[in-house]
Amino acid sequence: MPEAALTGEWQVRFDSGRQQRYLPGRAAALRYVLAVAPQAASSRFELFAETEPVRLADGSPGGRRFTLAEVIDLGQPGEADRLRAELQALGSDAP
In angstroms, the Cα distances linking 62 to 53, 55, 71 are: 7, 5, 27
Residue 7 has pLDDT above 60, yes or no: no
pLDDT score recorded for residue 8:
79
pLDDT score recorded for residue 36:
96
pTM summary value: 0.82
Chain centroid, CA 81 distance in Å: 16
pLDDT score recorded for residue 5:
47
Structure confidence by residue, pLDDT tens digits, 11-45: 999 998 899 999 999 999 999 999 999 999 999 99
Domain spans, the chain: 12-52
Tell me what percent of the residues of the chain surpass a pLDDT of 90: 76
